[in-house]
Structure 1
Amino acid sequence: MDKRVLLPTDYSKNALNAIRYAMELYSNERCEFYILNVFHISGYTLDSMRVPETGEPYYEAAKKESEEGMERLMQMIKLHPQNDKHRFHTITTFNSLTEAIKILVDKKDIDIIIMGTKGITESRARIFGTNTVNVMERIRECPVIAVPSHYMFEIPKEIVFPTDYKSPFKKKEIGDLIAMAKLHDAKINVVHIDKDRDGKLSRKETTNKELLQEILQGTDYEMHFLSADKISDGINTFIEEHDCQMVAFLNRKHLFFGSILSNPLVKKIGYDPQVPILELNDN
């Protein structure tokens, strides 16, 4: 069955870069790409008592602007070498981004969402755009790949998977990571970063580690142990030393360094992404 990939865009360079990344990542796969632009109307919020309706001048003007932007974007995509395996569908809608994505994920049975880390309005100081963090936090039905602004595509041959072994793994949660590794014959580097530097795992952590090894059987993987004061430093050092092209995080609702939104992964681990992030969910 064809891969169904959702590509949210605000027509920024960053969003275009993420679309190009998706086309390269799945260049050998049959894909249905759904490109989504969510438009807003100045003066209206989704919480307004009154929502603008089709036919109203403000609504029609915003809709037209969104559709024209989509037309320009499709022209740019056509400049990219064409791939017979890829088909594109465009959607423009008035909604909140996460709500529009939820609807599409359900309606089109989306396998994965690929988006940029920042949008047009994000400040330079903000490492991750609010939209990206919201999508990672609220959309739990499928994985999300966040592509850093200026990242040039490289085949992911080395994938980092940081873990603290604090909770047991399930095959289902790791499935998308294994699929990504198999797609590009990549190696999964499981990295345990130890802040205590004693190198010891508790009995429970050891059991969880063994369970993960069972799940990863049949893939090319290696277990690593690093000591670092800051988790982010450990991850970044590993990425540089092993020339990694992707980092995968398991976003557990309550357990992975706190949930992304209430205790942002980006804040907590201070993670400034140099490579794309594959965010997995513990459905």
Structure 2
Amino acid sequence: MKQILIPTDFSDYALNAIFTALKLEQNRSCHFILLHAYEPDNRNISNRQNTVRTGMVYDAMRKDVTNKLEETLQMIAKVCDNSPHKFSTLAKRGDLASTVSELVPKYDLDLIVMGTKGATGNRQVFLGSNTVKVLKKIWSCPILIVPRKFNFQALRKIVFPTEYVNFYSKGQLNPLVSLAEAWRSQVLIFHVAQEFKLSEKQLSNKKIIKQRLGSIRHSFYKVPIHTTVANAITKFTEEKLADMICMVHYQHTFLERLIEEPVVKKIGFHTEVPLFLLPE
């Protein structure tokens, strides 16, 4: 049974992430763990010497969070009557990124699913601050980021951007292969570069990708980048009517630069489809 963690702040976009995950895994038995990590407003515990007041604040928050988690479960139950899934809830004191980091080995997680607000106003910010913090903290578990307005229907096409620079070890692409097999998806391998002449190493890595995908339908593409890598990926995804973007979450790559706070605030990397990040 797959172990899937879904952090929630009880917002509409967090709820959309939950239902997207349920649809995505509708034919496989999963254990969904709904998490809310909480910390009180410092103004409510300004006098840290007053341990009684601090304890009361935390107790009140825990009760409120627990009630909201139960309400969320009730909403899920209305649409999952005969579901093969198991559900549980966690109300944890602490910051979200650190809490998620602790839960990855504890529950041997297979996937983390997070909702995001998407582009907001003129800032064009795709990734919210909590999502960014989790991405910077978690490198050992696949993460699925679901935009607020995404309405999942089917997983027909998955875009897989690559520079062919990195070697994909055995099992590294298994989460992608597993999803593609479950939905009979086509994987669109998108060469991200301005120079398309491949070195021997890149040619070898390209061949490895083909081997790793096995019988999964796949095709290779290369498109000149005229603006930024992020915009090129987004445009290609839109043109191909793809349902998801999948990338390996390498450190020290364009993705890491993308999630740095100043870049997130300036770059219009706002995809309308989920972003599936695989661990390095």
5 Å-filtered alignment, 1:64-213, equals 64-118=63-117, 124=121, 125=123, 126-196=125-195, 199-213=196-210
Distance 1:200 1:9, change over 3 A: same
Q: Give ranges in structure 1 of 5+ residues lacking alignment.
A: none
* Aligned AA (1:221): H
Q: Deviations over 1:40-96 (max 9, x none)?
A: 111179xx9889789821111111221122122222222324233011101111111
Distance 1:219 1:123, change over 3 A: closer
User: Do 1:159 and 1:245's aligned partners in 2 also have CA atoms closer than 8 Å?
Assistant: yes
User: Do 1:54 and 1:60's aligned partners in 2 also have CA atoms closer than 8 Å?
Assistant: no
For residue 29 of structure 1, report the CA deviation from its aligned partner.
0.7
- Give the distance between the partners of 1:245 and 1:268, measured in 2 at CA: 25
TM-score by length of 2: 0.88
For residue 118 of structure 1, report the CA deviation from its aligned partner.
3.3
- Give the distance between the partners of 2:53 and 2:169, measured in 1 at CA: 46
Cα RMSD (Å) of the superposition? 2.7
**Equivalent residue of 2:42, what SS?**
coil
For residue 165 of structure 1, report the CA deviation from its aligned partner.
1.3
Identity %: 31
Say yes or no: does 1:26 pair with 2:19.
no
Distance 1:249 1:216, change over 3 A: same
Q: Deviations over 1:221-260 (max 9, x none)?
A: 1111111212233222322222100000111122344455
**Equivalent residue of 1:154, what SS?**
coil
User: Do 2:149 and 2:272's aligned partners in 1 also have CA atoms closer than 8 Å?
Assistant: no
1:218 corresponds in structure 2 to 215
- Give the distance between the partners of 2:263 and 2:97, measured in 1 at CA: 19
Q: Deviations over 1:156-178 (max 9, x none)?
A: 11000001112222223212111
- Give the distance between the partners of 2:51 and 2:154, measured in 1 at CA: 44
User: Do 1:136 and 1:279's aligned partners in 2 also have CA atoms closer than 8 Å?
Assistant: no
- Give the distance between the partners of 1:186 and 1:83, measured in 2 at CA: 25
Q: Which has the higher helix share?
A: 2
- Give the distance between the partners of 2:49 and 2:24, measured in 1 at CA: 42
- Give the distance between the partners of 2:271 and 2:6, measured in 1 at CA: 19
Distance 1:53 1:94, change over 3 A: farther
**Equivalent residue of 2:151, what SS?**
coil
Q: Give ranges in structure 2 of 5+ residues lacking alignment.
A: none
1:233 corresponds in structure 2 to 231
5 Å-filtered alignment, 1:242-253, equals 242-253=240-251
* Aligned AA (2:203): T
**Equivalent residue of 1:210, what SS?**
helix
Q: Deviations over 1:8-45 (max 9, x none)?
A: 00000000000000111111111111000111111179
Distance 1:184 1:54, change over 3 A: farther
For residue 214 of structure 1, report the CA deviation from its aligned partner.
2.1
TM-score by length of 1: 0.87
5 Å-filtered alignment, 1:31-46, equals 31-43=30-42
- Give the paired residue count: 275
- Give the distance between the partners of 2:163 and 2:43, measured in 1 at CA: 44
For residue 193 of structure 1, report the CA deviation from its aligned partner.
2.9
* Aligned AA (1:190): I
- Give the distance between the partners of 1:264 and 1:12, measured in 2 at CA: 25
* Aligned AA (1:243): L
* Aligned AA (1:159): I
- Give the distance between the partners of 2:204 and 2:95, measured in 1 at CA: 42
